[in-house]
Amino acid sequence: MTKSVYVDPATRVEGHAKLNIQFNDAGAFEKVEFQCYEPPRGFERLFIGMIGEEVPRLAAKICGICYSAHCVAAVQAIENAWGVEPPEDAVKLRELMLLANLLQSHILHFTFLAMPDFLCDNPQEKNFVGLLNKHKELVESSVKLRAVGQKLTEILGGRQIHPATVVPGGMTKSLNKDEVEKITANINEAKVLVETLKNCAEKVMEAKASLLEKFGKIDSHFLCLQQKQHLTLCNADLELSTRDGRIIVMKPEKYSKLVRERVVDYSFIKQPYLDETGLEDGLIRVGSLARVNRCEWNNKLLRKFDKAFSRPSQSTLAYNIARAIEIEECLKRIEEIINDGVGKHFRETVKPREGHGVGIVEAPRGLLFHYYSTDRQGTVTEANVIAPTTQNALAIEKSADAAAQERFAGKTYERINRDDLNSIEMVVRAYDPCLSCSVHLVQIKRRVRKWKK
Amino acid sequence: MSLQETTGVALKVATLQLCGCSGCHISLLDVGQSLIDLIKNKQIQLKYSQILMDVKNLEEKIDILLVEGCVLTEHDEEILKDYAGLAEKIVAVGSCACFGGPAAIANQFGRADVLKIMFPDSTFSRISNVPSHNLPTIHEFACPINIFVDVDFYVPGCPPESEILQDFLTAIVKGKGSFGYVKTVCDECPLKRTGESPSEIKRIVDVATLDPDKCLVEQGIICMGKMTMGGCGAKCPKAGAPCEGCRGFSLSLKEVSPSDAPEIKKALVSFVRRKNS
């Protein structure tokens, strides 16, 4: 009989999941199942029958960590469906929102969720309270840095979480002079604070080099938006970098032809994979590592990253360091946009019409797709959301499996301890899974669904 | 006498996430330095929080249980009942825990209809297509937590603003506990009202040039501020976006002056017609 050891619940991750680590009769390790038991809340159903301009605000509520990403992806899809080009200043404001969101999300993960594994030894202390005792400066600067991101979201979106100002045709508000001054002051403060995080990332990279490089490493394809000279979170083409080093650039709409999904009986998450290569070789990954692998930013930490992992890197734990790089790049990009100036052309009247459209952005955890079709009055008739964690679902399971293979080699069922289990969780955490987002559709065939009164 | 004074030690706090988006936890973290200070000064001791620490099971008695999210699965129900049994006071944080939230909007369609969209094909050889091996069953209805346990305090909002959570934590540490808002969002809203009724109801996409200083309802946009519990500082209307009523009905709704009531009714009726036409 197979014996199972459960890590239930997986902690320091968003949402509900457990790891089912299975051992065979002889007590030797067999496989890991990543079981997400976050129930689908049915957003795809809720959107149907709703007028298009209400969608972005409800879409934000899909996730309490990457709200702006859902909001912007949704509005892009609605605008795409209605054939609307948003005014240039609205595009800037939305990009700022995405950046602010990424800033807070990455810092939350880096300091509060990931770093305790690398900086605290005692299992009881592996949390931010434990971190507070030993690395007070890191925690306190992270708290301040997160506040910078959240204040920016509040200025742009009206609220810190679940922004309200995004509507098809633009934004309901722009930035006034006071707000720009406030943002500039905050960013200047943040640029000093971010040094603590960078130092921490650098130290961890040096101290745990071989662990970061090898543990839980898997071979996969990467998907991201094409990175320009700066951190690019929206308005770019889709880029697939395959395992054998080919780079394929395509229009975002092509995504649905690119992947297939499988449903497993033990998890509410569906598992997509690359159609062309099949399930075995079709593993895809999205997120900070995918972006950092393909970027050309001028960044000191990035050069060190290159030395340690040699890009394109397949190391799962390198995700953590990639996040630190992105935090700095994110601040740079916010400054760039603010210096560039945001004008008064942030809103236009739009006319709802029949159509269907795709919205695609880089959420903190990777590519995020929203798809809607609307009727003549702009009422949603069909909706689809593909969240980053869904796309990482198969990779999370495989990485945990690889980590367990290494950790449990020559070890039997009876001898595994809490440290072993935590190390498997650490690999899962590297993806920063966001399970509330993940339990959504990955739709392959377009179904025709008409909303009936 | 405050809970902290009675026991003389730090308040033992646990946060529990049920079916929700984690936004309330993030809002709690946004309290920031004040939260860190409360922990550092040993006024609050965090005993369990799945998203922030590695304690897998709560096994000791605690003073305060902060619950985020609604109850949608068997597991949500079990863990809520278990942990509520260990807690002195239970707090429903956020609109999901207080009223059901987005997941409860789907109640009107029936759970089967909702799940059918996600798992359309009969992948598994059983009646339901929904994955179920070693997974909790999904309830038909998403429910607020007070259906299953007695709730001591409600902190509504989607999510509750971090200022509100900070006030709440400070109040509860001092032993005050209860705090409520009698005002509506409209009462707190700085936008100018002249008292005139809108000539027609507009959709927000119809009007690119809203006067940012003028009441949204008077400009013809549906805003729920008039009937929604205040306390949030009317952040959405201030930013030019209508209130969506995330904080639930105002306690003072009964006191809405009769002259206001027909206006609300009229607004709602046209809104519903517009949506269904």
The DSSP code sequence of A328-374 is HHHHHHHHHHHHH---S--B------SEEEEEEEEETTEEEEEEEEE
Query: Which tokens belong to A321?
Result: 């360091």
Nearest to A103 by CA among A157, A57, A150: A150
The pLDDT confidence band at residue B121, using thresholds 50, 70 and 90, is low
The answer to whether residue A371 neighbours chain B at the CB level (below 8 Å) is no
Least confident among A102-116, B29-43, B92-106, B238-252: B238-252
Q: Which of B23, B111, B240 sits opposite A165 (nearest CB)?
A: B240
Comparing alpha-carbon positions, the chain B residue that sits nearest to A62 is B21
Question: Could A16 and B131 be called an inter-chain contact, meaning their C-beta atoms sit closer than 8 Å?
Answer: no
More confident residue, A427 or A263: A427
pLDDT in tens, A354-380: 999 999 999 999 999 999 999 999 999
Average pLDDT over residues A229-235: 94
Taking 60 as the threshold, does the pLDDT of residue B122 lie above it? no
Average pLDDT over residues A6-30: 91
Nearest to A77 by CA among A367, A358, A387, A375: A358
Contact predicate B228/B184, CB 8 Å: yes
pTM for this predicted structure: 0.92
The answer to whether residue A453 neighbours chain B at the CB level (below 8 Å) is yes
Taking 50 as the threshold, does the pLDDT of residue A106 lie above it? yes
- Mean pLDDT score of chain A: 91
The answer to whether residue A338 neighbours chain B at the CB level (below 8 Å) is no
pLDDT in tens, B236-277: 999 999 999 998 887 765 444 444 445 444 444 443 444 443
Identify the pLDDT of residue A437: 80
Burial A193-224 (b: 16+ CB within 10 A, else e): bbebbbebbbebbeeeeebbbebbbbebbbbb
Q: Which of B24, B33, B82, B118 to mutate to test the interface with A (most CBs of A within 10 A)?
A: B118
Identify the pLDDT of residue B167: 87
Q: Which fold has domain A43-438?
A: Cytochrome-c3 Hydrogenase; chain B (1.10.645)
Question: Could A158 and B238 be called an inter-chain contact, meaning their C-beta atoms sit closer than 8 Å?
Answer: yes
Chain B environment of A144 (Cβ under 8 Å) = 32-33
Strands A270-274, A259-263: pairing kind: antiparallel
The pLDDT confidence band at residue A105, using thresholds 50, 70 and 90, is very high
Question: Could B208 and A347 be called an inter-chain contact, meaning their C-beta atoms sit closer than 8 Å?
Answer: yes
Comparing alpha-carbon positions, the chain A residue that sits nearest to B73 is A39
Identify the pLDDT of residue B169: 87
Question: Could B275 and A51 be called an inter-chain contact, meaning their C-beta atoms sit closer than 8 Å?
Answer: yes
Comparing alpha-carbon positions, the chain B residue that sits nearest to A124 is B54
Q: How many whole angstroms separate alpha carbon A325 and alpha carbon B226?
A: 46
Contact predicate A297/A324, CB 8 Å: no
Chain A environment of B46 (Cβ under 8 Å) = 129
Taking 50 as the threshold, does the pLDDT of residue B2 lie above it? no
Please report, for chain A, the start and end positions of each structural domain, with discontinuous segments joined by +.
43-438
Contact predicate B92/B154, CB 8 Å: yes
Q: Which of A11, A157, A172 sits opposite B53 (nearest CB)?
A: A11
Q: Looking at CA atoms only, how far is residue A325 from chain B in angstroms?
A: 22
Average pLDDT over residues A237-254: 91
The answer to whether residue A165 neighbours chain B at the CB level (below 8 Å) is yes
Identify the pLDDT of residue B180: 61
Identify the pLDDT of residue A451: 36
Taking 80 as the threshold, does the pLDDT of residue B179 lie above it? no
Q: Return the percentage of chain B with pLDDT > 70, whole number.
A: 82
Chain A environment of B48 (Cβ under 8 Å) = none
Q: How many whole angstroms separate alpha carbon A252 and alpha carbon A371?
A: 11
Least confident among A143-157, A189-203, B44-58: B44-58
pLDDT in tens, A166-175: 999 999 999 9
Average pLDDT over residues B7-35: 90
pLDDT in tens, B218-243: 999 999 998 888 888 999 999 999 99
Query: Which tokens belong to B62?
Result: 């605690």
The pLDDT confidence band at residue B172, using thresholds 50, 70 and 90, is confident
Nearest to A128 by CA among A117, A139, A137, A119: A139
Strand segments, DSSP code E, in A257-413 are 259-263, 270-274, 284-285, 355-363, 366-374, 380-386
The answer to whether residue A58 neighbours chain B at the CB level (below 8 Å) is yes
Q: Which of B16, B26, B139 to mutate to test the interface with A (most CBs of A within 10 A)?
A: B26
Identify the pLDDT of residue A440: 64
Q: Which CATH number is correct for B3-174, 3.40.1010.10, 3.30.930.10, 3.40.50.700, 3.40.50.2000?
A: 3.40.50.700
More confident residue, A444 or A204: A204
Question: Could B241 and A349 be called an inter-chain contact, meaning their C-beta atoms sit closer than 8 Å?
Answer: no
Strands A366-374, A380-386: pairing kind: antiparallel
Q: Which of A9, A15, A263 sits opposite B22 (nearest CB)?
A: A15
Average pLDDT over residues B147-168: 90
The pLDDT confidence band at residue B8, using thresholds 50, 70 and 90, is low
Least confident among A25-34, A146-155, A204-213, B167-176: B167-176
Average pLDDT over residues A80-90: 94
Chain B environment of A140 (Cβ under 8 Å) = 33, 36
B233 dihedral zone (left: phi>0; alpha: psi -120 to 50; beta): left
The answer to whether residue A139 neighbours chain B at the CB level (below 8 Å) is yes
Q: How many whole angstroms separate alpha carbon B214 and alpha carbon B225?
A: 14
Identify the pLDDT of residue B195: 85
Q: Which of B25, B35, B53, B202 to mutate to test the interface with A (most CBs of A within 10 A)?
A: B53
State whether the Cα torsion A29-A31-A32-A33 is positive or negative.
negative
Name residues 291-330 of chain A within 8 A of B (Cβ): none
- Mean pLDDT score of chain B: 82
Q: Which of A143, A169, A266 sits opposite B36 (nearest CB)?
A: A143
Q: Tell me the count of A-B CB pairs closer than 8 A.
A: 227
Q: Return the percentage of chain A with pLDDT > 70, whole number.
A: 97
Name residues 14-53 of chain A within 8 A of B (Cβ): 14-16, 20, 35, 37-46, 49, 51-53
Question: Could A67 and B23 be called an inter-chain contact, meaning their C-beta atoms sit closer than 8 Å?
Answer: yes
Taking 90 as the threshold, does the pLDDT of residue A418 lie above it? no
The answer to whether residue A419 neighbours chain B at the CB level (below 8 Å) is no
Question: Could B206 and A9 be called an inter-chain contact, meaning their C-beta atoms sit closer than 8 Å?
Answer: no
Question: Could B33 and A41 be called an inter-chain contact, meaning their C-beta atoms sit closer than 8 Å?
Answer: no
Q: How many whole angstroms separate alpha carbon A432 and alpha carbon A395?
A: 12
Contact predicate A167/A75, CB 8 Å: yes
Average pLDDT over residues A39-67: 91
Taking 80 as the threshold, does the pLDDT of residue B127 lie above it? no
Nearest to A156 by CA among A224, A214, A98: A98
Identify the pLDDT of residue A59: 94
Q: Which of A64, A113, A129 sits opposite B23 (nearest CB)?
A: A64
Name residues 184-243 of chain A within 8 A of B (Cβ): none
